[in-house]
């Protein structure tokens, strides 16, 4: 199923708004959407929400033989999936051009930047190493999948714990979390992607484009950087020519955004660690807003209990008086009607 294309009126409206430095959601040119990071009950599982874009990342590990060319290094494998649940434009079991592009960019950002110490993943040289598998699932697509995927991947890797092992001769014993505490991965730095969309042949740029803005863009520049202002990768697509000053300006903006996102990730990791240590409730279910039916719930109203007996006697007296008056009036009215009928006869 193909996604519904934008009409010419919508395209002109978006481009005109960008010329006037306005965006559909009210953001400024260099503003990110709200970022929310939630960790699951298991280590290495997290959901990242970038506005309405939602990405789930799960990190797992297993013991495998190493590569012949690198017998003392572990293996890091990335897999990104685009399901029709995220967008009608995504087809199941088919590698689209966007999927291949996102996979390559994610590998360049995290694996080629050497952010993970792969030598620490070696168990027995030339025989057994840890293979770290990073699965990224797009739950909802509302633009800028690359940034959301990179944030989810590095957050899940920082949160992940692998089982502890013991070596006796050629025997390798893997301990469960109950037997020994799991061991975190050795991460040198945290590269994060920042996307810049260019419009009208590079005359205007936006940070963190949404899905509708991505449809009318002329080019895209993705810069992967860490908080130390070290550029890990740069990728330009769309076929437009960018000037040196434009790239330098984007790199300066990226350094500020990466620093802010890194602080957000570290804060989320610290909060999760604190809750687990204190024995509190954690996981995806606890992070969801609780909405309960309140039709059978009512607030307690204060009742005045002084002079209850006197007030009740007054009410009873007034009721009896009004009842007697009604009966007298009713009887008189009935007698008058009866006499009228007798006179008529």
Per-residue model confidence as pLDDT tens digits over 17-30:
999 989 988 899 99
251 and 258 Cβ atoms separated by less than 8 Å:
no
- The DSSP code for 65 is P
Is pTM beyond 0.85? Reply is: no
Per-residue pLDDT at 294: 53
pLDDT at 14: 92
Q: What is the pLDDT of residue 301?
A: 59
Q: What's the confidence (pLDDT) of residue 299?
A: 60
Q: Encode 148-176: b = buried (16+ Cβ within 10 Å), e = exposed.
A: bbbbbbbbbbbbbbbbebeeeeeeeeeee
pLDDT score for 324: 67
- CB atoms under 10 Å from CB of 337, counted, come to 9
The structure tokens listed for 180 are: 């020994």
| 265-269: long-range contacts, CB 8 A cutoff, minimum separation 24 | 265/37, 265/151, 265/154, 265/155, 265/158, 265/190, 268/37, 268/38, 268/39, 268/155, 269/39, 269/155, 269/158, 269/159
pLDDT of residue 342: 46
Query: Residue 340: its pLDDT value, please?
Result: 45
| Tokens 């109203």 -> residue | 301
| 62 φ/ψ angles, rounded to the nearest 5 degrees | -155, 155
Residues of the chain with pLDDT under 70: 1-3, 284-308, 322-345
């Amino acid at each position: 199923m193909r996604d519904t294309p934008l009409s010419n009126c919508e395209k002109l409206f978006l481009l005109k708004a960008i010329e006037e430095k306005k965006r559909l959601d009210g953001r400024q040119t260099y503003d990110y959407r709200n970022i929310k990071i939630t960790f699951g009950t298991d280590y290495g599982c997290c959901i990242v929400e970038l506005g309405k874009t939602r990405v789930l990342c799960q990190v797992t590990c297993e013991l495998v033989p190493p590569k012949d060319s690198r017998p003392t290094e572990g293996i890091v494998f990335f897999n990104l999936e685009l399901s029709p649940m995220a967008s009608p434009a995504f087809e199941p079991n088919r590698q689209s051009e966007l999927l291949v592009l996102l996979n390559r960019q994610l590998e360049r950002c995290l694996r080629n930047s050497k952010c993970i110490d792969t030598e620490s993943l070696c168990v027995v040289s030339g025989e057994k190493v840890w293979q770290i598998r990073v699965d990224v699932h797009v739950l909802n697509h509302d633009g800028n999948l690359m940034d959301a995927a990179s944030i989810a991947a590095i957050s899940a890797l920082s949160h992940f714990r692998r089982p502890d092992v013991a070596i006796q001769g050629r025997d390798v014993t893997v301990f469960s979390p109950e037997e020994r505490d799991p061991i975190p991965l050795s991460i040198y730095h945290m590269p994060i992607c920042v996307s810049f969309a260019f419009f009208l042949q590079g005359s205007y740029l936006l940070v963190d484009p949404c899905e509708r803005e991505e449809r009318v863009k002329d080019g895209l520049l993705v810069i992967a950087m860490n908080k130390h202002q070290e550029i890990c990768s740069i990728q330009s697509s769309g076929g437009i020519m960018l000037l040196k000053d434009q790239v330098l300006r984007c790199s300066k903006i990226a350094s500020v955004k990466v620093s802010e996102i890194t602080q957000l990730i570290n804060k989320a990791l610290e909060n999760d660690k604190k809750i687990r240590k204190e024995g509190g409730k954690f996981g995806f279910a606890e992070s969801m807003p609780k909405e309960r039916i309140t039709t059978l719930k009512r607030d307690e109203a204060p009742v005045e209990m002084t002079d209850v007996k006197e007030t009740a006697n007054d009410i009873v007296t007034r009721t009896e008086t009004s009842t007697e008056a009604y009966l007298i009036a009713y009887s008189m009215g009935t007698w008058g009607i009866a006499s009228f009928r007798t006179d008529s006869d």
